[in-house]
Amino acid sequence: MRRLTKEVRIGNVKIGGGNPIAIQSMTRAPTKDVKSVVEEIKRLELAGCEIVRVAVPDEESVEALKLIKNQISLPLVADIHFNWHFAIRAIELGVDKIRINPGTIKNKEGVKEIVKRAKEKGIPIRVGVNAGSLPKDLAYTSLPQAMVEAALREIQLLEELDFTDIIVSLKAFDIQTTVEAYERLAETRNYPLHIGITEAGPMPEGAIRSAVGLGILLSKGLGDTVRVSLTADAVKEVEVAWEILQSLNLRKRGFVIVSCPMCARCSVPLIKLVQETKEHLAKLTPFPIKIAIMGCEVNGPGEAKEADIGLAFGKTSAVIFIKGNPIKTVSSSEAIPTLLKKIEQLLSSEDFPGKEANGGLV
- What span, in angstroms and rounded, lies between the C-alpha atoms of 14 and 139? 35
Residue whose C-alpha is closest to residue 174's, from 202, 227, 134, 132: 132
x/- track of binding to ligand SF4 for residues 243-282 (CB under 6 A): -----------------xxxx-xx----------------
Nearer to ligand SF4, 186 or 274 (CB): 274
In the chain, the amino acid numbered 143 is L
Instruction: Kindly state the smallest distance separating residue 324's Cβ from ligand SF4, in Å.
Output: 17
Instruction: Kindly state the smallest distance separating residue 312's Cβ from ligand SF4, in Å.
Output: 8
Nearer to ligand SF4, 155 or 311 (CB): 311
Collect all residues with Cβ–Cβ distance below 8 Å to 270 and sequence separation of at least 6: 259, 260, 262, 293, 295, 313
User: Should residue 310 be labelled a site residue for ligand SF4 when binding is judged by CB under 6 A?
Assistant: no
User: Should residue 294 be labelled a site residue for ligand SF4 when binding is judged by CB under 6 A?
Assistant: yes
Which residues is 278 bridged to in the sheet? Answer: none
- In this chain, which residue has its C-beta nearest to ligand SF4? 295
Nearer to ligand SF4, 154 or 303 (CB): 303
Of the candidate spans 3-11, 21-29, 68-76, 290-298, the one that interacts with ligand SF4 by CB under 6 A turns out to be 290-298
SS3 92: helix
Nearer to ligand SF4, 54 or 266 (CB): 266
User: Should residue 298 be labelled a site residue for ligand SF4 when binding is judged by CB under 6 A?
Assistant: yes
Nearer to ligand SF4, 122 or 261 (CB): 261
User: Should residue 26 be labelled a site residue for ligand SF4 when binding is judged by CB under 6 A?
Assistant: no
Tell me which long-range contacts 156-162 makes (C-beta under 8 A, separation of at least 24). Answer: 157/108, 157/111, 157/112, 157/115, 158/111, 158/115, 158/125, 158/127, 161/112, 161/115, 161/116, 161/119, 162/119
Q: Could you tell me if 73 and 41 are in contact, meaning their C-beta atoms sit under 8 angstroms apart?
A: no
Nearer to ligand SF4, 34 or 296 (CB): 296
Nearer to ligand SF4, 230 or 304 (CB): 304
- What span, in angstroms and rounded, lies between the C-alpha atoms of 320 and 267? 16
User: Should residue 296 be labelled a site residue for ligand SF4 when binding is judged by CB under 6 A?
Assistant: yes
Instruction: Kindly state the smallest distance separating residue 320's Cβ from ligand SF4, in Å.
Output: 16
User: Should residue 320 be labelled a site residue for ligand SF4 when binding is judged by CB under 6 A?
Assistant: no
Angle subtended at Cα 66 by Cα 75 and Cα 26, rounded to the nearest 5 degrees: 45
Of the candidate spans 23-31, 102-110, 192-200, 297-305, the one that interacts with ligand SF4 by CB under 6 A turns out to be 297-305
Of the candidate spans 44-52, 75-83, 152-160, 296-304, the one that interacts with ligand SF4 by CB under 6 A turns out to be 296-304
Q: Pick the binder of ligand SF4 from 20, 102, 300, 301 (CB under 6 A).
A: 300
Q: Could you tell me if 227 and 197 are in contact, meaning their C-beta atoms sit under 8 angstroms apart?
A: no
Residue whose C-alpha is closest to residue 352's, from 276, 285, 294, 279: 285
Tell me which long-range contacts 16-21 makes (C-beta under 8 A, separation of at least 24). Answer: 16/167, 16/191, 16/192, 16/193, 16/224, 17/192, 19/224, 20/250, 20/251, 20/359, 20/360, 20/361, 21/218, 21/223, 21/224, 21/225, 21/226, 21/245, 21/250, 21/251
Nearer to ligand SF4, 88 or 292 (CB): 292
User: Should residue 102 be labelled a site residue for ligand SF4 when binding is judged by CB under 6 A?
Assistant: no
Q: How many residues bind ligand SF4 (CB under 6 A)?
A: 12
User: Should residue 208 be labelled a site residue for ligand SF4 when binding is judged by CB under 6 A?
Assistant: no
In the complex, the residues that contact ligand SF4 under the rule CB under 6 A are 260-263, 265-266, 294-296, 298-300
